[in-house]
Amino acid sequence: MLLCAGLILIAFSVLSCVIAVQDVFGWRKADTNTLMGAVCIYLMLGLIWAVLYDMLVLLWPEASFSGLQYEENRLQFDSFLYFSFVTLTTAGYGDITPVNPLIRTLAYLEMITGQFYMAVLVAGLVGLFMRQRNPR
């Protein structure tokens, strides 16, 4: 039941991200709505990864993460949300580390996603600002 709910939450979040990305990265103008949309996408990315980690721990409870105590029938979403944003921002404190090879792979994919998102966002906003400043 928890796995099904997690899959539905991930599907809804991914669909919401896709819709927001289409609107934000349309690059029509740089205004408050565009910037807030970009922040919301970043937060949704962290949420999606956290739900994914939480679902994977349901499949491999004891062999997933070091630094967390697994408790039967208790979701540790707050810990995974923390781990997700530490990983997404590439801060990597090291207090929670993935042990499972699949989860380690997902963690470094999350790092790449976070860095790539910020690079594309900043490059696009700078380009948009320059285009608005010097229209031809």
What pLDDT, on a 0 to 100 scale, did the predictor assign at position 72? 67
Task: Given CATH 1.10.287.1080, say whether it is the number of domain 2-133.
Answer: no
Please, which pLDDT band fits residue 84 given cuts at 50, 70 and 90? very high
Average pLDDT value for the chain: 87
What pLDDT, on a 0 to 100 scale, did the predictor assign at position 73? 60
- 3-class DSSP assignment, residue 97: strand
Please, which pLDDT band fits residue 97 given cuts at 50, 70 and 90? very high
Please, which pLDDT band fits residue 76 given cuts at 50, 70 and 90? confident
What pLDDT, on a 0 to 100 scale, did the predictor assign at position 4? 87
Question: What DSSP string runs through 1-65?
Answer: -HHHHHHHHHHHHHHHHHHHHHHHTT-S---HHHHHHHHHHHHHHHHHHHHHHHHHHHHSSTTSE
Q: Where are the domains of the chain?
A: 2-133
Residue 27: pLDDT over 80: no
Residue 63: pLDDT over 80: no
DSSP 8-class letter at 95: S
